[in-house]
Each structure stands twice: as C-alpha cells, then as structure tokens.
C-alpha cells in the first residue's frame, strides 16, 4: 500500500475515533482493553494514557523493558505538539523525506515520529489526552491503539485498520 494511502487512512482514523466524553473510568477501561489484547497475543509492551497531562493509566506487560517508557514519552510529546497521531506525523515526514529535527528543529531525545501514540479527542472539546503504546514494531503499535479505540467506541475495527 502506498504511503499516501496510509496517510489518508490515518487521517480518517483521527476523524472517526472520538469520544462523546472521556474521564478516568474511561481511561481505565481503554487501558485495560489494550492490556487484555496484549496479554491474549503475548505482546511485550507498555501502555500509557494521559488526560490533560495527568497519567490516568499505565501498565507494562511481563518482560517489558525500561526503554519502552522513554519511547512513550517521545511519542506522546509528538502528539501533544501536533495534536495528531505520532504515526501520521512519521508518515508525512517520510513522504516529504525529512525529519522532525530538520523540519521543526525538534530533538530526537524529546520527540519520536513513530507509531503508537494517538490523540484522545472529545467531540465539542478537542484533544484532551493521549494513549500511547510501545514495544511492537511501530505500525503494529499504531494498529493496536486503533483497534482498542474502535472497540471502546463500538466501531468496526476492520474498516479502520491499516493493511
């Protein structure tokens, strides 16, 4: 699939995957869903959900490495800066053959345009948080987050998933 198709699909995911309301209970439900999917599939990863900068959920699967937390931090920073998924930013940069540092002067120690972080948006409000996973290849990190968001919202994941 062409990168332009992925960029378009991720934009559609960002348009559709929005909540009518999101609170600590919803963060727990969403995080537990990602953890359940990961446990069932034997994934080794870490999960972080933030609401307005506050950590609302965190879990690390058995054998997770401390480095996953640093990746979460960097991917989350990217979403908070651009209010877009970290994978969308990475795809757009790849298509333009540039980097975060070249285009915006953002240091790679603080920002990562790799899949796995997705904005939590509330209809009528905007972006109020970020869900981030780290540990799988970036496309799989992104797809896992999209799958969990779709399930939490009662939407068909198959129609949103990247190939």
Structural domain boundaries in the chain: 3-159
CA–CA gap between residue 134 and residue 139 (Å, rounded): 11
Residue 131: DSSP 8-state: E
Query: CA nearest 87: which of 150, 11, 148, 20?
Result: 11
Tell me, which fold does domain 3-159 have in CATH? Answer: Beta-Lactamase (3.30.450)
Task: Say yes or no to pLDDT of 15 above 70.
Answer: yes
The model scores a pTM over 0.85: yes
Strands 46-51 and 126-134: antiparallel
Could you read off the pLDDT of 37-93 as tens digits, one per residue? 999 999 999 999 999 999 999 999 999 999 999 999 999 999 999 999 999 999 999
Sheet holding 18-19, edge to edge: 18-19, 117-122, 126-134, 46-51, 54-60
């Amino acid at each position: 699939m062409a990168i332009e198709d992925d960029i378009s699909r991720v934009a559609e995911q960002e348009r559709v995957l929005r909540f009518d309301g999101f609170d600590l209970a919803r963060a727990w439900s969403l995080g537990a869903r990602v953890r359940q999917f990961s446990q069932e599939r034997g994934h080794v990863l870490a999960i972080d959900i933030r609401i307005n900068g506050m950590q609302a959920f965190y879990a690390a699967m058995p054998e997770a490495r401390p480095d996953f937390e640093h990746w979460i931090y960097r991917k989350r920073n990217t979403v908070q800066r651009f209010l877009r998924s970290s994978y969308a930013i990475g795809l757009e940069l790849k298509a333009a053959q540039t980097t975060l540092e070249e285009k915006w002067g953002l240091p790679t120690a603080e920002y990562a345009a790799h899949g796995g972080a997705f904005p939590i948006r509330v209809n009528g409000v905007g972006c109020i948080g970020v869900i981030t996973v780290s540990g799988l290849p970036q496309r799989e990190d992104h797809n896992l987050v999209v799958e969990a968001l779709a399930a939490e919202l009662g939407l068909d994941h198959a129609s949103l998933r990247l190939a």
